[in-house]
Structure 1
Amino acid sequence: MNSLRTQLLLIGTMAIWGLNISAIKVLTAHFDPMVVAALRMALAAVVINLTLFWLKPPIILGKVPIEQWLRFVLCSVLMIYANQILFTGGMVSASATNSSLIMALSPLVASIMAAVIFRETLTRKRLLGIALGFGGVFAVVFSGAGASLSSATWGDAQIFAAMFSFVAGGVFIQSLARQFHALVISSFIYTFGAVLLCIHAVLDDSVDLSAQALLAAGFWPWALLILTGIVATALCNMLWNHAIAELGVARTSVFQYWIPVFGVAFAMLWLGEAFTWWHVVGLVGILLGTYLGTRRA
């Protein structure tokens, strides 16, 4: 897959993830957050493994050193287990404004990690791109009526921790991609992460797993849960892991600036929210930030 096609597909992924944030907010009103996390990841693991069986990419597991297996486990714990517990739990109380700005910090965190771990050059152009992208997100988010930075809550802290764990897991994917196919990496980390989440849900006495509690939500929340598990989680994360393998974690993370943009755009289309010049300013900033932030040194 060429770099341009990967970048275009990443923008499409950000559109789906922009919708997914609202979907998770809806789902946590009908299900326990732990149930949402476990079921979505279990469904994603099934889809990814079926894709692996269908495509049959080269799998090299013989003579894999213990250090590589530890990286697989750490990546799974960070990107799936810890990330989902923190993200679904944080969405219960975190504000949409604060969450959008917190998630927009991921390119900066990823660039710093890549510079420290992989010795990637943190050029002035990339730093300018990060600043322009974050400024664009700021303009888009605060163009909405009533948008404000409310006082920090425990939910906001959980969203920040979820963002950090996801970026940290991406660093391990970048190192694993030198030896393994991206689909093989996705298969392992989602299967292992889903198993951890399911065990956690079963052992946690506060999580009600009775048939009555699960069926009380009705048809549409279940349909939404299945849709987010297959499309937003399985398909989009397979593409995300492939992009990290091709572009690197720092350049790939820059595309997360588009998540709040699509969230606002869908609100305009479906909820009739007003379009202002601040949206234009924000879009220009994000476009320039993406261009500068994804250029190779």
Structure 2
Amino acid sequence: MKNLQTYFILTFIMATWGLNVSIIKILVSYFPPVTITSLRILAAGLSVFIILGAMGKVRKPSFREMNFIMFGGLLSVVSHHLLLAIGLTQTSAVNGGLILGAGPLLTAILSTIILRNKPTGIQVLGFLLGGAGVTFIVLSGGKGVSSLSQGDFYVFLSILSQALSFIVISKASKTLDPRLLTGYMLIFGGVILFALGSFMEPGGLKGMSEAPAYVWAAFAASAVLATAVGHMVYNTAISKIGPAEASIFLNLNTFFSLAGSALILGEVITVNHLLGLVLIVAGVLFGSGALEELVIRQRRKRHSHHI
């Protein structure tokens, strides 16, 4: 029962992350990408500490936990965001979307190798269905796959960094509250990204005050809801249901980002997109273990009625 609740919450988080893609598109059209990403992540980290401070959940990490924070922050915040931003400027959105769609499968493989979590046959089918759904949606853009470029390699490294960070979070959350871990990782990663932004985008802070109010409202929504609350909930889910099972929900991002593009940016959704969504939902049900859990619950109900 608890897991089903986690699955519903994860679906909602994927909706916020999907919409966040459109918000980020707006932000990077006004501000230098690395600088605004670092400020968004730092604002998210501060939001996490304000929320956890009010709950009385803030404490100093141990030396061992600090290593997890730094390693996780470098992987999930610095490497993932930086490599993705650079990669997407050097490849097509189609190629980028397809490579990002391989994230859950990559996480499942790493979980099997590093954590020795063997997926069931139904889960493997789920990962493949989800990947097929993402492929369907991305290719229905009509632009096709362009030949592999250096940008594709950067996008792949960004998704590999994220997949590895899920393993780190899974291990770290055995002793450290995953929500607190999220806050520390965001602050640590945000500071490093800001330093990199100062070097890569000199004068990146100039002219920021000239952005219209709605852009700053979008920044606040992205930082607090999508990044702070979203990552707190997602990292808690990793500690509850496992990195591979939680990562399968990332496939929903592709559809929700399309829905966001239609709602916010006025882009068109086609029948192919909806067919892709059906494959993704099937993949999530199989790959996350949600379907197996529903079947077990139904069997228990029937069994209790017979007794």
Question: In the alignment, residue 20 of structure 1 is paired with which amino acid?
Answer: N
Closer, same or farther: CA 152–23 of 1 in aligned 2, 3 Å: farther
Task: Determine which of 168, 176, 180 is the counterpart of 1:180.
Answer: 176
Question: In the alignment, residue 275 of structure 1 is paired with which amino acid?
Answer: T
CA separation in 2, counterparts of 1:24 and 1:74?
25
Instruction: Give me the identity figure in percent.
Output: 27
Q: Which residue of 2 aligns with 1:157?
A: 153
Q: Which residue of 2 aligns with 1:8?
A: 8
- The answer on 1:245 being equivalent to 2:239 is yes
1:227-246 matches, within 5 Å, as 227-246=221-240
1:141-152 matches, within 5 Å, as 141-144=138-141, 146-152=142-148
- The answer on 1:87 being equivalent to 2:84 is yes
- The answer on 1:23 being equivalent to 2:19 is no
Instruction: Give the alignment's Cα RMSD to 1 decimal.
Output: 2.4
Structure 1: give runs of 5+ residues left out of the alignment.
none
Give how far 1:269 is off. Answer: 4.8
Quick check: 1:28–1:88 contact (8 Å CA) kept in 2? no
Give how far 1:222 is off. Answer: 3.0
CA separation in 1, counterparts of 2:227 and 2:260?
19
Quick check: 2:77–2:189 contact (8 Å CA) kept in 1? yes
More helix by share: 2
1:57-206 matches, within 5 Å, as 57=57, 59=59, 61=61, 64=62, 66-144=63-141, 146-202=142-198, 204=199, 206=201
Give how far 1:272 is off. Answer: 6.4
Structure 2: give runs of 5+ residues left out of the alignment.
293-307
CA deviation string 1:119-172 (max 9, x = no partner):
10133222211111111112222233x331123344333322221111111111
CA separation in 1, counterparts of 2:121 and 2:182?
33
Give how far 1:226 is off. Answer: 2.5
TM-score normalised to structure 1 length: 0.88
CA separation in 2, counterparts of 1:169 and 1:259?
18
How many residue pairs are counted as aligned between the two chains?
290
CA separation in 2, counterparts of 1:234 and 1:25?
19
Question: In the alignment, residue 113 of structure 2 is paired with which amino acid?
Answer: V
Quick check: 1:33–1:85 contact (8 Å CA) kept in 2? no
CA separation in 2, counterparts of 1:85 and 1:185?
20
Give how far 1:81 is off. Answer: 1.6
Question: In the alignment, residue 163 of structure 1 is paired with which amino acid?
Answer: I
Give how far 1:274 is off. Answer: 4.9
- The answer on 1:287 being equivalent to 2:281 is yes
Closer, same or farther: CA 5–147 of 1 in aligned 2, 3 Å: farther
CA deviation string 1:16-47 (max 9, x = no partner):
21122232233223221221221111100110
Q: Which residue of 2 aligns with 1:273?
A: 268
TM-score normalised to structure 2 length: 0.85
Relative to structure 2, which stretch is displaced further, 150-159 or 173-182?
A: 150-159
Quick check: 2:96–2:155 contact (8 Å CA) kept in 1? yes
Quick check: 2:259–2:269 contact (8 Å CA) kept in 1? no
Q: Which residue of 1 aligns with 2:51?
A: 51
**SS in structure 1 of the partner of residue 30 of structure 2:** coil
CA separation in 2, counterparts of 1:219 and 1:8?
33
Closer, same or farther: CA 288–206 of 1 in aligned 2, 3 Å: closer
